[in-house]
Amino acid sequence: MITGAATALAVMMLAMAAAALIAERTRRSGFVDGIWSLSSGFAGALSIGLAAGWTGRAVLVAGLIGLWALRLGRHLLSRSFAHVGDDPRYAALRREWGEAAPRRMFLFLQTQALAGWLLALSATAMASRPGPVDWQDGLGLFLALAAICGEGLADRTLNRFRREKPGAVCDRGLWGWSRHPNYFFEWLFWVGLALTGVGGLDLRSAGALLAPAIMYALLVHVSGIPPLEAHMARSRGEAFAAYRRRVSAFFPWPSRTDAQGESQRDRSR
């Protein structure tokens, strides 16, 4: 267990150090997220193999993490190669940090490495649930695959919309139910994985629940919604403000009219 945890931590720290160097040399920080996704998937599968062994459940969890990492990493890296210029979230951080930006970016990405490492440990706890593969694994598999498909659909819808209406605010399909359906399905994937590992009121089950808790905190309160919506508010103005009044921030929910949005608090759950 210790060997797997230490190896996963080393993988994440080295990967995000490389990501910081790439971001500094190219001024295209969008590569950071793709590198984080791929390295988190690799670290998780490696930790499972070293700590839990290749049981049926371990193969299931590691396979799902690999599928998640490859799809998300490919999407993020492809988007970064196609986009000229820096990611607006990281560009805002660079402006805020000024001359200290290289050092602070390195430290910031090492905190992301820590988050990826905790995901790997949580995945190892999921894979370590004793007993043969059962209905609980089947339910987790279904939910995780549905989440991967949902996130892929949200990404494709947004890409198509951006090509057709550059500069507009996407409210098509899933984006009319949630302002961040890709983030919601990202979190739902880890909820599905956690279902494979929860087996009672013990520390291992608590460890399995750590991953969805971390992803929710990161996406909703730290590096996901807050900086992205700040950028959207600056760049899209009233169009985004109206969209924000109508559509739930995270959990999918039927959209409201502008009048309802004015009279009700925004669903930013």
- The per-residue pLDDT for 192 is 97
Q: Using one digit for the tens of pLDDT, what is the confidence trace for 196-211?
A: 999 888 899 999 999 9
Query: What pLDDT score does 264 carry?
Result: 47
Residue-level pLDDT at 97: 93
Q: How many residues does the chain have?
A: 269
Tens digits of residue pLDDT in 76-102? 999 888 776 778 888 888 889 999 999
Burial of residue 144 (CB within 10 Å: 0-12, 13-18, 19+) is: buried
At a CB cut-off of 8 Å and minimum separation 6, what does 195 contact?
A: 136, 137, 139, 140, 143
Cα gap 174→157, rounded to integer Å: 8
Residue 46's pLDDT is 94
pTM across the whole model: 0.89
Residues of the chain with pLDDT under 50: 259, 261-269
CA angle 71, 77, 79 (to 5 degrees): 100
CB 239 within 8 A of CB 221: no
In the chain, domain spans: 2-263
Decide: helix, strand or coil at residue 85: coil
